[in-house]
């Protein structure tokens, strides 16, 4: 089922206009005394409308920087980042972006309902209580609406953060290791939940992770990055049918793909 | 015995040992005639007429301290928000606050008496003491010039403007730090008011202390000092309770 798309050139041409397009993107961070480190170089990445793309790479390869540039939190030093035909900052300012990070970043003084409703307040729109309830239900937090974040487990907090990211029906969803701080069992369960939630919402999504299995289970395409400076090393198309069940992770195709991508990452580590 | 009970017992024992020690020093006369036994000070305060004098003075000091604290909080908040809205002014405001704080009260006092007058000097000195602490608390609570948190990233990505970020993130996040500052500022205001009264205020604990000292009324002197300490401790206790409640609610 899963097959590798040979990609001689890192550029992948997609027929419909890309929802997220990074072209020739480079990022240099200034260090002290005029020294600089190149985090990304000549990176091309296109994500189609309604596509789920996962980025994996060795730590420090700049995969989070890619995500932060798409979110408008960093500016590229060279090249362009276009999201839904606009600059990322414009998209953020029009409240069309959903984000969830490794740190849940829920407001501790606010209830779960208040946290999920936050994007409505920040967009200056009346809170759609039905939509908030729908999201709370979708992430399986019904009954915990009035709880404070600190009263919930790590997994439940991440669910709330994902509900917050989805509540405004964003054009683009950006996930930076959202389950990175969770234990392996909770993490697998959260991945199954996210796959279910995603197949209901079908939002253009970019996920950054260091977990190859997570990437293969969730994404339509997995992008493997090289170490610093980060470039696209390999693009892997994942063809498991949706909605995906945990059973696919036990299939030989899945294991084969895991081995292939892990091998690519390891080769990078020893290079 | 529970941990809390043991702590309370230890604290009570400590206070009792201290009081007994002071009493013993006074009775033995080790520190000379200016250190009376504490029982004499207590007897002084139990006498209705004498107590009335101390209480009158204490209420004047409390009023000056409260006014000074309020003024300090308001001015500090105004300064911190100015820094928030006009970032280029921040370093200047920080330095001005540090400078005001660095000038000894004893050097400012003659200036204050000629400008704001004897009546208002205690309030102004209390306000100066409380205001600096509160300025630091507001600045750090609103994390002016602090490092970015993931909350900032989320608010940026969700397209929050400056006003909504202030109302939904910075203000609520600052509450515990600001109240932390208040636990320091409230006793500082009591101290400031008492010191301000030294420079010729018409009434207050500071005045009582100065006149008792000049007339060698040792028990009156100690009574006034004990009263000032009690005020200061009460201010600290009250604000600490407030701060704890806020931390439970906000964190």
- Residues A43-64 have pLDDT tens digits of 999 999 999 999 998 887 889 9
Instruction: Tokens for A111, please give them.
Output: 């209830």
CA distance B217 to chain A (A): 53
Distance, in Å, from the CA atom of B238 to the CA atom of B161, rounded to the nearest integer, reads 36
Q: pLDDT by residue (tens digit) across A189-247?
A: 888 888 888 888 889 999 999 899 999 999 999 999 988 788 888 999 998 888 788 88
Instruction: Tokens for B178, please give them.
Output: 């600001």
A-B contacts at Cβ under 8 angstroms: 61
Q: pLDDT by residue (tens digit) across A250-268?
A: 999 999 999 999 998 887 5
Name which of A68, A105, A122 is nearest B159 (Cβ-Cβ).
A122
CA distance A150 to chain B (A): 8
Does A99 contact B153 at a Cβ distance shorter than 8 Å?
A: yes
Residue A7 has pLDDT above 60, yes or no: no
Q: pLDDT by residue (tens digit) across A130-152?
A: 999 999 988 889 999 999 999 99
Which residues have a Cβ under 8 Å from the Cβ of B75 and sit 6 or more positions away?
A: B127, B131
Rounded mean pLDDT, A117-123: 95
Q: pLDDT by residue (tens digit) across B178-201?
A: 999 999 999 999 999 999 998 888
CA distance A123 to chain B (A): 7
All residue ranges of chain B with pLDDT < 50 are none
Distance, in Å, from the CA atom of B33 to the CA atom of A118, rounded to the nearest integer, reads 67
Task: Using an 8 Å CB-CB cutoff, list chain B residues near A73.
Answer: 153, 156-157
Does A71 contact B156 at a Cβ distance shorter than 8 Å?
A: yes
Instruction: Report the residue of chain A nearest B176, measured CA to CA.
Output: A109
Query: Which domains are assigned to chain A?
Result: 3-96+170-270 (3.40.50.300)
Does B159 contact A174 at a Cβ distance shorter than 8 Å?
A: no
Task: Using an 8 Å CB-CB cutoff, list chain B residues near A92.
Answer: 156-159
Q: Would you give the distance in Å from CA A253 to the centre of its chain?
A: 23
Q: Quick one: which H or E segment has residue B83?
A: helix B48-85
DSSP B190-227: HHHHHHHHTTT-SSSHHHHHHHHHHTT-HHHHHHHHHH
pLDDT at B178: 94
Rounded mean pLDDT, A176-201: 87
Mutate to test the interface with A, among B148, B151, B154, B171 (most CBs of A within 10 A): B154
Rounded mean pLDDT, A148-163: 92
Residue A89 has pLDDT above 90, yes or no: yes
User: From residue B239, how far is each of A56, A117, B58, B189 by CA, in Å?
Assistant: 51, 33, 19, 13
Does B157 contact A99 at a Cβ distance shorter than 8 Å?
A: yes
pLDDT at B249: 82
Rounded mean pLDDT, A108-129: 94
CA distance B248 to chain A (A): 9
Which residues have a Cβ under 8 Å from the Cβ of B101 and sit 6 or more positions away?
A: B128, B132
Residue A10 has pLDDT above 70, yes or no: no
Distance, in Å, from the CA atom of A246 to the CA atom of B11, rounded to the nearest integer, reads 59
Task: Using an 8 Å CB-CB cutoff, list chain B residues near A72.
Answer: 156-157
Task: Using an 8 Å CB-CB cutoff, list chain A residues near B169.
Answer: 107
CA distance B245 to chain A (A): 12
Task: Using an 8 Å CB-CB cutoff, list chain A residues near B157.
Answer: 71-73, 92, 97-99, 174
Task: Using an 8 Å CB-CB cutoff, list chain A residues near B156.
Answer: 71-73, 92
User: Edge to edge, what strands does the sheet with A52-56 contain?
Assistant: A3-4, A232-237, A221-225, A52-56, A204-208, A172-176, A97-100
Mutate to test the interface with B, among A91, A101, A105, A175 (most CBs of B within 10 A): A105
Instruction: Tokens for A261, please give them.
Output: 């991508």
Name which of B153, B168, B249 is nearest A118 (Cβ-Cβ).
B168
In this structure, which topology does domain B47-250 adopt according to CATH?
MetI-like fold (1.10.3720)
CA distance B97 to chain A (A): 31
Q: Regarding beta strands A78-83 and A18-30, do their DSSP bridges make them parallel or antiparallel, or are they unpaired?
A: antiparallel
Q: Regarding beta strands A36-48 and A3-4, do their DSSP bridges make them parallel or antiparallel, or are they unpaired?
A: unpaired
- State the angle between helix axes of B205-214 and B48-85 in degrees (0 to 180), rounded to the nearest 10: 130
Does A92 contact B156 at a Cβ distance shorter than 8 Å?
A: yes
Instruction: Tokens for A197, please give them.
Output: 């939630």
Does B151 contact A121 at a Cβ distance shorter than 8 Å?
A: no
Identify the contact set of chain B against chain A, taking CB-CB distances under 8 A: 149-151, 153-160, 164, 168-169, 172, 175, 249-251
In this prediction, residue A4 has a pLDDT band, given cuts at 50, 70 and 90, of: low
Does B158 contact A118 at a Cβ distance shorter than 8 Å?
A: yes
pLDDT at A100: 94
**Burial environment of residue B240 by CB neighbours within 10 A (0 to 12, 13 to 18, 19 or more):** middle
Which residues have a Cβ under 8 Å from the Cβ of A105 and sit 6 or more positions away?
A: A161, B149, B150, B151, B153, B154
Name which of B157, B164, B249 is nearest A71 (Cβ-Cβ).
B157
């Amino acid at each position: 089922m899963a097959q590798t798309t040979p990609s001689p050139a890192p550029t992948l041409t997609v027929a419909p206009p890309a929802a997220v397009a990074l072209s020739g993107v480079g990022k240099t961070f200034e260090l002290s005394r005029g020294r600089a480190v190149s985090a990304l170089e000549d990176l091309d990445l296109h994500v189609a409308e309604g596509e789920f793309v996962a980025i994996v790479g060795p730590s420090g390869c700049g995969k989070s920087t890619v995500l932060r540039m798409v979110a408008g939190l960093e500016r590229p030093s060279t090249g362009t980042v276009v999201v839904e035909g606009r600059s990322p900052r414009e998209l953020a300012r029009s409240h069309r972006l959903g984000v969830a990070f490794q740190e849940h970043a829920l407001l501790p003084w606010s209830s779960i309902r208040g946290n999920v409703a936050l994007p409505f307040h920040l967009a200056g729109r009346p809170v759609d209580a039905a939509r908030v309830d729908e999201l709370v239900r979708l992430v399986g937090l019904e009954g915990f609406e009035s709880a404070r974040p600190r009263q919930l487990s790590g997994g439940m907090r991440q669910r709330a953060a994902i509900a917050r990211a989805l509540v405004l029906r964003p054009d683009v969803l950006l996930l930076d290791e959202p389950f990175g701080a969770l234990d392996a069992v909770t993490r697998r369960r959260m991945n199954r939940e996210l796959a279910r939630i995603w197949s209901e919402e079908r939002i253009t999504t970019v996920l950054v992770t260091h977990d190859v299995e997570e990437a293969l289970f969730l994404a339509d395409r997995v992008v493997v990055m090289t170490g610093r400076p980060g470039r696209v090393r390999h693009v892997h198309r994942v063809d498991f049918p949706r909605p995906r069940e945990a059973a696919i992770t036990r299939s030989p195709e899945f294991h084969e793909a895991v081995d292939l991508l892990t091998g690519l990452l390891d080769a990078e580590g020893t290079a | 015995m529970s941990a809390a009970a043991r702590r309370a017992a230890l604290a009570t024992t400590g206070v009792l040992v201290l009081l007994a020690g002071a009493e013993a020093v006074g009775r033995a006369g080790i520190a000379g005639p200016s250190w009376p036994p504490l029982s004499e000070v207590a007897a002084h305060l139990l006498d209705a007429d004498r107590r009335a004098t101390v209480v009158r003075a204490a209420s004047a000091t409390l009023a000056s301290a409260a006014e000074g604290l309020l003024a300090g909080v308001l001015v500090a908040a105004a300064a911190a928000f100015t820094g928030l809205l006009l970032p280029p002014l921040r370093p200047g405001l920080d330095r001005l606050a540090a400078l005001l704080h660095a000038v000894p009260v004893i050097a400012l006092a003659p200036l204050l008496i000629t400008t704001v007058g004897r009546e208002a000097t205690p309030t102004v000195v209390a306000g100066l003491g409380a205001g600096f602490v509160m300025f630091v608390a507001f600045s750090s609570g609103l994390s002016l010039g602090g490092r970015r948190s993931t909350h900032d990233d989320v608010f940026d990505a969700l397209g929050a403007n400056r006003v909504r970020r202030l109302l939904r993130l910075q203000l609520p996040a600052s509450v515990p730090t600001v109240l932390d500052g208040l636990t320091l500022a409230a006793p500082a205001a009591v101290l400031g008011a008492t010191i301000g009264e030294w420079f010729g205020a018409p009434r207050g604990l500071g005045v009582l202390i100065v006149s008792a000292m000049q007339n060698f009324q040792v028990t009156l002197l100690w009574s006034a000092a004990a009263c000032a300490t009690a005020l200061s401790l009460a201010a600290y206790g009250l604000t600490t309770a407030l701060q704890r409640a806020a931390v439970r609610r906000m964190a």
